[in-house]
């Protein structure tokens, strides 16, 4: 019997910063080298992002004496420790994940007591008992709920969660799986003399997405059937995208070569994932950055309309890592189906790795 994606709900922290204001904030940091400060406006304009959300309220303040996360000076030194950042992660991630999960349950025909599995996804913080256990307790899920946590896999991790959920559904006919992807990337913004750090600071944001996946006898109109998945890894680009734990937070390495490497592999990846007879109606491309979407559009020969949802998510939210692709798929679910047609969703991350899935509209 088919596995279906019933619903997706999203949530973001309350602090929302227009991208020009975020650039102005960064330019005021006195410990940032002048050669980088002068480039900040152009870097931020080039992202195609209008606004982003953050769990750190300091980013919306003009007076450093009001800072509660950073030191009360425009140097932002000494930088918050990894322990400080992880404490903020725990404080902010619990209400965020619970809000998204409650919304997903409210939007679906699945009651809390019907949930059989919870899959948590995150790479921006750690604690135990984790937010997956808190979801079971706070949402009133059965104490028999089986939990799986997928950590430190980056932007493509939602597909790993979907693959695991599909396996649960195929092995247990009454499975009702709650997936919650939550990332607080802005907790780990760094101030140093590296251009790639300035680019990372300009792209990443905070957000959460919750999805309910189940097995059905038939696939009703308006939901998506999970058809297949595929993984491709480029063994020669292991150092192009990295995520390491340092003394002052998690530190990302992001090479400018990433869009080109991904683009080189996409045609073969799609050919292997999509059957010859399938009509692909929609494309959900993880908007890791404008250059990634542009490269994917070019090599796959897609129209502007086919990448519109990805660019709109980038414009309104930035790159939130693992939840981002679910934000894109949510837009497609809300717009409604074209019965019988297929869709491809994909994301990219450390490896370099392409993870994705083939979908089919029900009805």
Structure tokens at 115: 């949930």
Strand blocks (E) in 220-311: 224-233, 241-246, 249-254, 280-285
Question: In sequence order, what DSSP letters do the residues of 83-141 get, joined into one string?
Answer: HHHHHHHHHHHHHHHHHHHHHHHHHSS--GGG--EEEEEESS---SS-HHHHHHHHTT-
Indicate the SS3 state at residue 40: helix
Query: Rounded to the nearest 5 degrees, what angle is found at the Cα of 304, between the Cα atoms of 298 and 305?
Result: 135
Nearest-angstrom CA–CA distance, 102 and 134 = 13
In sequence order, the β-bridge partners of residue 349 are 353
Parallel, antiparallel or unpaired: strands 249-254 and 117-122: unpaired
Catalytic, out of 155, 169, 185, 208: 155
Structure tokens at 362: 């029900």
In this structure, are residues 8 and 329 in contact, taking their beta carbons and an 8 Å threshold? yes
Crossing angle for the helix pair 19-27 and 195-203, to the nearest 10 degrees: 140
Nearest-angstrom CA–CA distance, 189 and 105 = 33
Structure tokens at 300: 């796959």
Nearest-angstrom CA–CA distance, 339 and 121 = 31
Nearest-angstrom CA–CA distance, 43 and 272 = 36
DSSP 319: B
Structure tokens at 141: 């899920």
Instruction: Decide if 155 is catalytic.
Output: yes
Among the listed residues 247, 354, 350, the one whose alpha carbon sits nearest the alpha carbon of residue 300: 354
Please identify every residue annotated as catalytic: 155
């Amino acid at each position: 019997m088919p596995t279906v994606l019933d619903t997706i709900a999203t949530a973001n922290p309350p602090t929302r910063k227009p991208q020009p204001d975020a650039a102005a904030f960064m330019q005021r940091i006195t410990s940032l080298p002048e050669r980088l400060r002068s480039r900040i406006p152009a870097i931020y304009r080039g992202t195609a992002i209008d606004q982003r959300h953050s769990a750190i309220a300091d980013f919306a303040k003009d007076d450093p004496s009001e800072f509660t996360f950073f030191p009360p000076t425009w140097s932002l030194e000494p930088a918050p420790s990894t322990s400080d950042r992880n404490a903020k992660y725990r404080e902010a991630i619990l209400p965020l994940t619970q809000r998204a999960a409650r919304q997903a349950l409210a939007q679906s025909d699945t009651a809390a007591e019907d949930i059989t599995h919870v899959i948590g996804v995150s790479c921006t913080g750690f604690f135990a008992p984790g937010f997956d256990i808190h979801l079971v307790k706070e949402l009133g899920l059965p104490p028999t709920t089986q939990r799986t946590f997928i950590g430190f896999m980056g932007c493509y991790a939602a597909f790993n969660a979907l693959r695991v959920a599909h396996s649960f559904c195929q092995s247990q006919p009454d499975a009702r799986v709650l997936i919650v992807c939550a990332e607080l990337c802005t907790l780990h913004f760094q101030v140093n003399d590296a251009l790639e750090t300035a680019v990372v600071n300009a792209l990443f944001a905070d957000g959460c997405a919750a999805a309910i996946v189940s097995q059905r006898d038939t696939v009703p109109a308006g939901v998506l059937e999970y058809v297949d998945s595929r993984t491709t890894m480029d063994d020669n680009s292991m150092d192009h995208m990295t995520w390491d734990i340092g003394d002052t937070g998690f530190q990302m390495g992001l090479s400018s070569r990433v869009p080109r490497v991904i683009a080189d592999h996409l045609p073969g990846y799609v050919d292997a994932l999509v059957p010859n007879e399938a009509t692909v109606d929609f494309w959900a491309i993880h908007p890791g950055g404008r250059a990634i979407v542009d490269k994917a559009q070019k090599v796959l020969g897609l129209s502007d309309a086919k990448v519109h949802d990805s660019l709109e998510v980038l414009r309104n939210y930035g790159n939130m890592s693992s939840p981002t692709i679910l934000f894109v798929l949510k837009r497609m679910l809300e717009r409604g189906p074209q019965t019988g047609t297929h869709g491809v969703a994909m994301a990219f991350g450390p490896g370099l790795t392409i993870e994705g899935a083939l979908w089919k509209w029900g009805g």
